[in-house]
Amino acid sequence: MIKSIKEVIAEKDLLFILAKRDITVRYKQTVLGILWAVIRPVATMFVFIFAFKQIPALSSTNKYPFQLILFSGILVWNYFANSFQAVSNSLLVNSNLISKVYFPRLIIAFSSIAVSLLDLLIGLVVYLILCIYFQYPITFNILYFPLVIIVISFFSIGLGLILGSFSIKYRDILQIIPIVVQYGFFVSPVVFTIDSLLNKSWFIYYLILNPIVGLIEISRYVLLEGYKSINLLQFLITLTSAFLCFIIGITIFNKRENSFVDHL
Amino acid sequence: MKIVEVESVGKTYKLSNNDSPSYKNGLKSFFNSESKQVFNALTDVSFSINKGDKLGIIGNNGAGKSTLLKILSRITQPTKGNIYVRGKVASLLEVGTGFHPELSGRENIFLNGAILGMTKNEIKSQFDEIVDFAGPQIAQFLDTPVKRYSSGMYVRLGFAISAHLNPEILIVDEVLAVGDADFQKKSLGKMKEVAAQEKTILFVSHNLTAVQNLCNKTLHLENGKVKHFGETGAILNSYMAENQSRKLNHEFENFNDAPGNEIIRLKKAEIFPQLDPNIDYWTTQNSFTITFDFWSLLKSANLNISLHVFASTGECIFNIGSEIKVFESGIIATKIDIPGNFLNDGNYYISVMVVQDGSKVLYNFENLFEFEIADYRENTSWFGKWPGYVRPNFPINIVQLTKSN
């Protein structure tokens, strides 16, 4: 596993140029260009602001600006969901490369998160503007956010590699991925917080099975001043679970890598 | 030292009726993996080449050439056997691999270069040479998305990038068969330049002239197996001799079985090239003789024969007729000598007519012969198709008329 990571690093020029390709191509021939990276999360936020105004019960828990809770959740979730989908589709999207040239295949998977990463950074700027607008303090905790992003990336790459590796032979997986994302949105605290769940006996399993729960909560902890989140032990559980997923992903990928081209 | 070694390599593909299994046979095959049909793309292929060797790989379609190249360039793994490749490999299985249509020519140079294994600095330092090699049209549209390029420009840019790779081992698949004649000339020239260096090249091609001139060794694959491997001259000789398409002789013992009509029947027809002692196949330099014997039942008739030579496109290249003479019924024999260095390389067929009184066609023996003439060139650096249907070697007198200092 270390060996395959080293191979990727050795070919970092290729990694960056593939990432640059995806980013350059993303907003080609659009009028609004990179602004779409702003519009999409904001639009999602407005849907839920509107929905929750109609259902007051859901928005009653907040000590913090409701919009910031929503936006931070959407930001992190979008990054996870988009990068996970990009990684799982990357092999098929780049099948023309895989069948014609050899290079470490992991590079394709790694480089495919670039677009989502850029979207996340732009979304973060929007988030900071929202903070200023609501006159909510921004603390130095935000400096930990990059670390959280790295952990999220490990998780989304891991999960993407697992599903992506199987999707080459079993295209059924491609049908499952959007369902996973759709369900995930509602079983993760994207548009709600976990306050009311903390005391439930099954909460620990919830954290283990769905590392994104802890990752969203930790993100809010570093982004929102005074946000009450999961404790250190719960965070370590989340972390372990995310890394485990990454390791399993790479292992499965390495095992199946050689047969990819025969099924394309 | 052996730079590439291939030891009893086999590649098997599992054939199922549909590649992505449905749940019915999917589950079945999931539980018993035995009952699948297999296809052997390669069987027990072994050979090795030394540093600096240029290996040509030839064979018919489906012989396993592309599979072998894919295995050598690590794109796919062999099912059996081992491969040892010692050195930095660049494989060109197509021109412009990974070009993105939305990106400009400039961006695609960096993208394609990186995909083919060049570092960013290597590309930067060779950027101007690449653009220069690709031609002035590319230089003009360097910042236009390649989706607006003509297919010719696309290919030129792709080849220009690959031409500036600097690997120890170069694996090339037929990329030379693209582009206009001018560009082919340029790219084959570049290949020859690379071949002159201490590089190892593995080269799959249908262009036997190119293989003959570029490669010192040749591997002939047939149905996934090694048919012959060795020095290029000997391998090409046997390959051409086996594969030259021919329908060269007919002979009929009695009138009733022979083709023709009630008065004219074919007795014997033969076309016979005078081959070189060292080359077992028919090349442009060989002369050939056509004999044509037929039965005629006409008494005291004014007969002649007329011979049409057609190119494979159906165009008649020339037509010659014999003198008209009076023949009695019986067997009439004709013989025509056609010199070497006359017909160009290509596929030809010949029809022979028997004519009465100079105008009445008694019978036309269509497609009597089919034959192929192979290219022959010595000391050339141009391997593209020699144009034209004929290739006479009329002497051209060329002298220097004045000298200016």
pLDDT score recorded for residue B26: 56
Is B111's CB within 8 Å of A21's CB? yes
Q: Determine the 3-state secondary structure of B15 from DSSP.
A: strand
With tokens 């509107």, the residue in question is A50
In this structure, which amino acid lies at residue B67?
T
Q: Select the residue of B75, B119, B120 nearest A102 (Cβ to Cβ).
A: B75
Locate B197 and state its tokens: 């260096």
Q: How far is B186 from chain A (nearest CA, A)?
A: 24
The beta strand positions in B98-150, using DSSP E, are: none
Is B93's CB within 8 Å of A263's CB? no
List the domain range (segments joined by +) for residue A86.
Answer: 2-263
pLDDT score recorded for residue A162: 94
Residues B188, B168: contact at Cβ < 8 Å? Answer: no
In this structure, which amino acid lies at residue B147?
K
Q: Which CATH class is domain B246-373?
A: mainly beta
Please choose, from the candidates A92, A154, A149, the residue with its C-alpha nearest in 3D space to the C-alpha of residue A118: A149
Domain locations along chain B:
2-241, 246-373
pLDDT score recorded for residue B16: 61
3-state secondary structure A74-85: HHHHHHHHHHHH
Q: Which CATH class is domain B2-241?
A: alpha beta
In this structure, which amino acid lies at residue B170?
L
Contact partners, residue A1, CB within 8 Å, separation at least 6: A247, A250, A251, A254
**Interface test with chain A among B111, B124, B146, by most A beta carbons within 10 Å:** B111
Q: How far is A172 from chain B (nearest CA, A)?
A: 9
Q: How far is B233 from chain A (nearest CA, A)?
A: 31
Give the range among A51-60, A87-96, A201-210 with minimum mean pLDDT: A51-60
Arithmetic mean of pLDDT, A50-71? 71
Q: Give helix A66-93 / helix A114-133 axis angle, nearest 10°.
A: 170
Locate B363 and state its tokens: 């019978």
pLDDT score recorded for residue B35: 53
pLDDT score recorded for residue B23: 59
Going edge to edge, which strands form the sheet with B169-173? B89-92, B169-173, B200-204, B54-58, B217-222, B225-231
Q: Which residues of B241-253 are buried (b: 16+ CB within 10 A; e: fewer)?
A: eebbeeebebebe
Q: Select the residue of B20, B102, B120 nearest A28 (Cβ to Cβ).
A: B102
Q: What is the C-alpha R_g of chain B? A: 28
Give the sign of the dihedral formed by CA A223, CA A226, CA A229, CA A235. Answer: positive
Is A17's CB within 8 Å of B13's CB? no
pLDDT score recorded for residue B52: 87
Instruction: Kindly write down the DSSP assignment for every residue of A154-184, as one continuous string.
Output: HHHHHHHHHHHHHHTT-THHHHHHHHHHHHH
pLDDT score recorded for residue B239: 83
Reported as half-sphere exposure (CB side, CA atoms, 13 A), residue B337 has a value of 5
pLDDT score recorded for residue A194: 82
Q: Which residues of B touch A18 (CB under 8 A)?
A: 111, 114
Locate A60 and state its tokens: 């009653």
Q: Over the stretch A108-150, which tens digit does the pLDDT of each residue have?
A: 999 999 999 999 999 999 999 999 998 888 888 899 999 999 9
Please choose, from the candidates B201, B193, B235, the residue with its C-alpha nearest in 3D space to the C-alpha of residue B218: B235
Segments in B164-300 forming alpha helices (H): 181-196, 208-214, 232-243
Is B115's CB within 8 Å of A101's CB? yes
**Pairwise CA distance, residues B28 & B39, whole Å:** 20
Phi then psi dihedrals of residue B341, to 5 deg: 50, 40
Q: Determine the 3-state secondary structure of B43 from DSSP.
A: strand
Q: Is-above-0.80 flag for pTM?
A: no
Residue B143, classified by CB atoms within 10 Å of its CB into exposed (0-12), middle (13-18) or buried (19+), is exposed
Is B77's CB within 8 Å of A100's CB? no
Locate A12 and state its tokens: 């970092």
Is A100's CB within 8 Å of B94's CB? yes
Residues of chain B with pLDDT under 70: 16-36, 175-181, 245-247, 381
Question: What's the number of domains chain A is made of?
Answer: 1
Q: Report chain A's mean pLDDT, rounded to a whole number.
A: 88
